[in-house]
């Protein structure tokens, strides 16, 4: 049994590559793409966060296009290379630039008023982090709505990928008892940092205007299918949008974990419950790979421009949100 490290993090993530019944169906390798490395797998992957093996251990099944999906009598699908090129555009996009600004501000939070500076940020993040759950559900729904339009196997394979990150938000992972939801993990993180429960912050805070704006934009765009009429074009748009969410989330959570650790070492000096940020920092690369494989199973080659438009839409609105988060911390 071979193990492949897929992360340079202190909390090592290992990919267990072994023989598995699912491998029989895979004729085109599932593709794992992350800015930390690129490799292919053909079997089930087992991801283990070894820092907390009992509480957070999960399995991700990546479903790449099978021979049935690639049947010659069906329309051609977008290629791995096309999707990678689209993802690469995000590397130099507005979203990553906003994250750079946000993390710089987070590391510079002053020691004497860290709580006052971070409270409005956490009020926004709390809403924002949960708001991706309905966004994921909406992306899944748009693929399901191609019933009668898309090929059954293609639709099914895309959904087999997409269901996993959504279920994971609620603590459900393959071959595991149900764990804490990500909302619960965020509450634990908050409590360990601030020393009082999250509902107390929410009760004393105004409406999280920036997070609510991003949420409304995400739902408008995904459920509106990018303005297309055809259900498959709407699904392609939703899959591109999902891809951008997951791809940027990989940057977002990894960076955020590093910045909070830095802030804690310098200013807070607390015994922080890092699990929320750790599972996301380690898990988002896998989620991005899942979103990537969902696209490869169903998006027709002529919809590459729809993917691109969807990714640009999310990049733009995500950037506005994180620039606002940076503003909340700057100038103190």
* Minimum CB–partner distance for residue 169 and Fe ion (Å): 5
Residues composing the chain: 332
Residue 31: which region, alpha, beta or left (left: phi > 0; alpha: psi -120 to 50)? beta
* Minimum CB–partner distance for residue 185 and Fe ion (Å): 8
* Minimum CB–partner distance for residue 231 and Fe ion (Å): 28
Match 């750790």 to its residue by tokens: 278
* Minimum CB–partner distance for residue 73 and Fe ion (Å): 39
Of 150 and 187, nearer to Fe ion (C-beta) is 187
Residue nearest to Fe ion (CB): 182
The answer to whether the Cα torsion of 30, 86, 143, 287 is positive or negative is positive
3-state secondary structure of 5: strand
Of 154 and 314, nearer to Fe ion (C-beta) is 314
Q: Whole-angstrom Cα distance, residue 192 to residue 222?
A: 35
Answer for the pair 322, 259: CB distance below 8 angstroms, yes or no: no
* Minimum CB–partner distance for residue 125 and Fe ion (Å): 12
Answer for the pair 239, 294: CB distance below 8 angstroms, yes or no: yes
Q: Whole-angstrom Cα distance, residue 202 to residue 252?
A: 23
Strand pairing of 2-5 and 13-17? antiparallel
* Minimum CB–partner distance for residue 176 and Fe ion (Å): 15
Report the DSSP beta bridge partners of residue 77.
300
Contacts of 25 (CB under 8 A, 6+ apart): 66
* Minimum CB–partner distance for residue 233 and Fe ion (Å): 28
Q: Whole-angstrom Cα distance, residue 189 to residue 114?
A: 16
Sites of contact with Fe ion (CB under 5 A): 169, 182
Q: Whole-angstrom Cα distance, residue 176 to residue 23?
A: 21
Of 173 and 182, nearer to Fe ion (C-beta) is 182
Of 44 and 182, nearer to Fe ion (C-beta) is 182
26 DSSP 8-state letter: -
């Amino acid at each position: 049994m071979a193990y492949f490290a897929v992360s340079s993090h202190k909390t090592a993530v290992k990919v267990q590559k072994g023989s598995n019944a699912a491998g029989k169906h895979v004729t085109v390798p599932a593709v794992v793409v992350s800015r930390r490395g690129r490799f292919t797998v053909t079997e089930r992957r087992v991801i283990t966060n070894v820092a907390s093996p009992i509480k957070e251990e999960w399995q991700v099944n990546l479903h790449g296009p099978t021979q049935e999906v690639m049947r010659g009598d069906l329309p051609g699908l977008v290629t791995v290379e096309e999707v990678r090129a689209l993802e690469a555009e995000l590397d130099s996009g507005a979203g990553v630039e906003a994250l750079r600004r946000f993390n710089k501000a987070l590391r510079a939070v002053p020691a004497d008023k860290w709580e006052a500076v971070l409270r409005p940020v956490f009020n926004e993040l709390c809403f924002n982090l949960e708001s991706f759950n309905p966004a994921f559900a909406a992306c899944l729904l748009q693929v399901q709505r191609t019933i009668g339009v898309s090929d059954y196997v293609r639709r099914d394979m895309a959904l087999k990928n997409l269901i996993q990150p959504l279920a994971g938000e609620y603590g459900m992972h393959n071959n595991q008892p149900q764990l804490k939801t990500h909302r619960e993990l965020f509450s634990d993180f908050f409590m360990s940092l601030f020393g009082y429960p999250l509902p107390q912050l929410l009760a004393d805070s105004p409406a999280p205007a920036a997070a609510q704006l991003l949420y409304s934009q995400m739902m408008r765009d995904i459920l509106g299918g990018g303005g297309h009429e055809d259900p498959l074009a709407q699904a392609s748009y939703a899959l591109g949008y999902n891809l951008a969410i997951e791809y940027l989330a990989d940057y977002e959570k990894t960076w955020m974990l590093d910045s909070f650790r830095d802030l804690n070492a310098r200013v807070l000096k607390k015994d922080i419950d890092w699990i929320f940020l750790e599972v996301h920092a380690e898990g988002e690369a896998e989620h991005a790979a899942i979103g990537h494989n969902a696209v490869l199973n169903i998006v027709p080659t002529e919809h590459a421009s729809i993917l691109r438009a969807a990714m640009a839409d999310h990049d733009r609105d995500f950037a506005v949100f994180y620039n606002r988060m940076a503003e909340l911390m700057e100038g103190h």
